[in-house]
């Protein structure tokens, strides 16, 4: 509980970067990780690790030979996660989601994102979505949590199959599940 309060203070202090004042809850963690395939040898990318709540949920779902690459722009959050999550499957990258192509090329099974998309410029939003689509395998899914349904249309304009789930809690969370499905010739 004390740790949760400390995290809430740190998120609030950095509100323009985090876009949140509290950590995500268990329902969000369960829903946002629900499209991760039930297999081993997966490559998972996370955008917006924060203090690593969702990161831990991802790690608890995947097998011993899978890998997670977590992108986070705020260095103190990276340092916090490095200190508190000891897991060889996790690589923390102190850089923005928009630079994912610098680190990974196509072969990603799932992208789990809690970046504050609403705060970004139109250019940044488009760059992130195009890069995310580009690195996903066919049938791979990007799952994004947001406090609004407003951006769903933007995701639908890039991805092939999109579904939205609402978590009726306070605050109300919207999880977008957006799948890439390239057509075979």
Ligand X SMILES: C[S@@+](CC[C@H](N)C(=O)[O-])C[C@H]1O[C@@H](n2cnc3c(N)ncnc32)[C@H](O)[C@@H]1O
Q: Is the peptide bond before 171 cis (omega within 30 degrees of 0)?
A: yes
Under rule CB under 6 A, how many of the chain's residues touch ligand X?
Answer: 23
55 exposure class (CB count in 10 Å sphere: 0-12, 13-18, 19+): buried
Cβ nearer to ligand X, comparing 89 with 160: 89
Among 150, 149, 158, 163, residue whose Cα is nearest residue 131: 158
Exactly one of 24, 127, 131, 144 binds ligand X (CB under 6 A); that residue is 24
**Which residues are CB-contacts of 123 (< 8 A; sequence separation ≥ 6)?**
none
Q: What is the nearest approach in angstroms of ligand X to the Cβ of residue 96?
A: 4
Q: In the stretch 52-91, what mask flags binding to ligand X with x, by CB under 6 A?
A: -xx----------------xxxx--x--------------
φ, ψ dihedrals at 177, nearest 5°: -110, 115
Among 56, 48, 53, residue whose Cα is nearest residue 72: 48
Q: Is 140 in the site for ligand X (CB under 6 A)?
A: no
Residue with tokens 């799952």: 143
Cβ nearer to ligand X, comparing 74 with 154: 74
Q: Is 23 in the site for ligand X (CB under 6 A)?
A: yes
Please tell me the total number of residues recorded for the chain in this structure: 185
Residue nearest ligand X by beta-carbon distance: 48
Cβ nearer to ligand X, comparing 29 with 109: 29
Q: Is 49 in the site for ligand X (CB under 6 A)?
A: yes
Q: Is 48 in the site for ligand X (CB under 6 A)?
A: yes
Q: Please list every residue from 90 through 129 that binds ligand X, using CB under 6 A.
A: 96-98, 114-116
Residue with tokens 């690589």: 91
Task: Give residues in contact with ligand X (CB under 6 A).
Answer: 17-20, 23-24, 47-50, 53-54, 71-74, 77, 96-98, 114-116
């Amino acid at each position: 509980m004390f740790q949760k309060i400390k995290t809430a203070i740190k998120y609030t202090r950095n509100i323009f970067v985090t876009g949140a004042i509290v950590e995500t809850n268990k329902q969000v963690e369960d829903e946002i990780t629900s499209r991760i395939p039930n297999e081993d040898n997966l490559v998972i990318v996370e955008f917006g690790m924060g203090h690593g709540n969702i990161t831990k949920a991802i790690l608890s779902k995947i097998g011993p030979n899978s890998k997670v690459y977590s992108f986070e722009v705020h260095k103190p959050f990276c340092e916090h996660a490095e200190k508190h999550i000891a897991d060889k499957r996790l690589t923390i990258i102190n850089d923005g989601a928009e630079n994912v192509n610098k680190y990974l090329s196509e072969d990603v099974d799932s992208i789990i994102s809690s970046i504050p998309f609403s705060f970004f410029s139109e250019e940044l939003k488009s760059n992130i979505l195009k890069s995310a689509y580009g690195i996903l395998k066919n049938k791979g899914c990007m799952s994004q949590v947001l406090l609004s349904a407003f951006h769903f249309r933007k995701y639908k304009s890039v991805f092939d199959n999109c579904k939205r789930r609402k978590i009726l809690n306070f605050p109300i969370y919207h999880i977008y599940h957006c799948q890439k499905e390239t057509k075979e010739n």
